[in-house]
Amino acid sequence: MEVLAISTDSRFSHKIWQEEELTKMVPGGVPFPMLSDAGGRIGQVYGVYDPEAGVDLRGRFLIDPDGVIQAAEILTPPVGRQPQELLRQIRAFQHVRTTGEVCPSGWEPGKKTLQPGPALVGRVYEVWNPERDG
């Protein structure tokens, strides 16, 4: 798994943000590279660049090893993100890729998964009950 942070801020802004803010929120700062998207070219490709403001909106994209976007979330600045949900989704997509099983809503490692196929059609609630298995 590789994590990258990309914004229209300069690498100097990222350095100050890491040293002055992130190290206070996360011991040692964030453990992944922060890249500059000056001009918003990467943001344009992913549909998150706001040309009027000249910034990339907060977006996150889970891209599998084949280069296919498996999940995307775009938030406007007033709403923060939930890192634990991102990590849960990464683990779920890795599990699906490794096993071929399906991870139901709210799945966490070690919890029940589903086997996709005709036998599951119309029986999901029978096989997986969110109150019992979630």
Residues 6, 35: one domain? yes
- Give the count of domains, the chain: 2
Per the confidence metrics, is the pTM higher than 0.75? Answer: yes
Residues 89, 131: one domain? yes
pLDDT band (50, 70, 90) for residue 13: very high
What gap in Å lies between CA 14 and CA 16, rounded to an integer?
5
Residues 4, 57: one domain? yes
Residues 56, 33: one domain? yes
User: What amino acid occupies position 129?
Assistant: N
> What is the model's pLDDT at position 126?
85
The two beta strands, 58-63 and 55-56, are: unpaired
Query: What element of type H or E holds 84?
Result: helix 83-99
On whether the CB atoms of residues 35 and 5 are closer than 8 A, the answer is yes
In the listed set 29, 53, 75, which residue is the last one of a domain according to the structure?
A: 75
Q: How big is the chain by its Cα radius of gyration, in Å?
A: 19
Residues 104, 59: one domain? no
pLDDT band (50, 70, 90) for residue 129: confident
Residues 45, 71: one domain? yes
Each residue's pLDDT tens digit, 14-63: 999 889 988 888 888 888 888 999 999 999 999 999 999 998 998 889 99
> What is the model's pLDDT at position 131?
79
Residue 17 belongs to what domain range?
1-75
Closest CA to 58 of 68, 66, 69, 46: 46
